[in-house]
């Protein structure tokens, strides 16, 4: 029978009526939509394959991120689910400027399955993973490399993240290399100085 243009409820009621016409007594049936061809969402930002994804029945936020190839190494610490007003709200007069609801989810907890609430994904939703901010630490530390930049990350905290200085470190001569108007400048670093995105903290070797 024709299903196009009908809601699930309408299609269920129509099939029940036809089955009751000489086939079954009080037929009970359930119709499940396995995939929507016209319901799409957008997965953007720091994912491997950003773009449009088709919304399947009961598709989760994690499944949509996986369908986009998963987060890139540059991904930040959170996922933003942006939801615009519904069509009914858009048609209602006196609503003023359309507003977008934004739900923020910790990316690490989402990937680990530690997000308790189940977020319902709707047609037209935008899932955005912003790029994270990072700093770098090099020189005489236990674990030099790149680290995520949290708010108010000081030089002292950066050293802790890097496993601390090794026995050859000259902490009093530590410097920070920072991009300023496209140029990388070098400053003497104190333990309570706050780092910025893309800073390079350099711990030199002691001359003794």
Domains recognised in the chain with CATH numbers? 1-31 (no CATH), 35-129 (3.10.560.10), 134-203 (3.10.560.10)
In sequence order, the 6+-apart residues with CB closer than 8 A to the CB of 11 are: 3, 31
Higher pLDDT: 141 or 100? It is: 141
Task: Identify the DSSP state of 130.
Answer: P
Phi, psi of 25 (to 5 degrees): -100, 125
Q: What is the 3-state secondary structure (H, E, C) of 35-81?
A: EEEEEEEEEEECECCCEEEEEECCCCHHHHHHHCCCECCCECCEEEE
Q: How confident is the model at residue 134 (pLDDT cuts 50, 70, 90)?
A: very high
Task: Specify whether the CB–CB gap between 195 and 149 falls below 8 A.
Answer: yes
| pLDDT in the model for residue 9 | 85
Higher pLDDT: 85 or 172? It is: 172
CB-count burial class (<10 Å; 0-12, 13-18, 19+) for 100: exposed
Residue-averaged pLDDT of the chain? 87
| pLDDT in the model for residue 59 | 81
CB-count burial class (<10 Å; 0-12, 13-18, 19+) for 129: buried
Higher pLDDT: 122 or 135? It is: 135
Task: Specify whether the CB–CB gap between 47 and 130 falls below 8 A.
Answer: no
Task: Specify whether the CB–CB gap between 33 and 57 falls below 8 A.
Answer: yes
- pTM of the predicted protein model: 0.62
Higher pLDDT: 202 or 95? It is: 202
Q: How confident is the model at residue 132 (pLDDT cuts 50, 70, 90)?
A: very high
| pLDDT in the model for residue 93 | 53
> For residues 156 and 134, what is the distance between their CA atoms, to the nearest angstrom?
16
Bridge partners, residue 179, by sequence: 184
pLDDT tens-digit map of 152-182? 999 999 999 999 999 999 999 999 999 999 8
Secondary structure class of 91 (helix, strand, coil): helix
Q: How confident is the model at residue 90 (pLDDT cuts 50, 70, 90)?
A: very low
Higher pLDDT: 87 or 19? It is: 19
Phi, psi of 152 (to 5 degrees): 60, 40
pLDDT tens-digit map of 12-69? 999 999 888 878 888 888 888 776 666 889 999 999 999 999 887 678 889 899 999 9
Taking each continuous run of H as one helix and of E as one strand, the counts in the chain are 5, 10
> For residues 137 and 201, what is the distance between their CA atoms, to the nearest angstrom?
5
Answer whether residue 114 shows pLDDT above 80. Answer: yes
């Amino acid at each position: 029978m024709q299903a196009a243009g009908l809601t699930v409820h309408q299609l269920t009621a129509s099939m029940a009526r036809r089955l009751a016409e000489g086939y079954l007594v009080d037929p009970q049936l359930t119709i499940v939509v396995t995939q929507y061809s016209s319901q799409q969402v957008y997965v953007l930002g720091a994912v491997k394959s950003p773009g449009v994804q088709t919304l399947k029945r009961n598709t989760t936020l994690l499944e949509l991120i996986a369908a986009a190839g998963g987060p890139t190494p540059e991904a930040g610490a959170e996922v933003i689910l942006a939801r615009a007003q519904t069509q009914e709200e858009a048609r209602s007069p006196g609503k003023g400027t359309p507003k977008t609801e934004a739900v923020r989810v910790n990316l690490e907890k989402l990937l680990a399955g530690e997000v308790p609430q189940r977020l319902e994904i709707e047609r037209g939703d935008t899932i955005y993973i912003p790029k994270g901010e990072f700093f770098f630490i090099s020189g005489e530390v236990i674990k030099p490399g790149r680290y995520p930049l949290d708010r108010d990350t000081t030089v002292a905290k950066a050293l802790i993240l890097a496993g601390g200085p090794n026995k050859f470190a000259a902490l009093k001569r530590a410097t920070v290399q920072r991009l300023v108007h496209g140029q990388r400048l070098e400053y003497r670093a104190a333990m309570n100085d706050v780092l910025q995105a893309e800073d390079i903290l350099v711990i030199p070797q002691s001359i003794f």
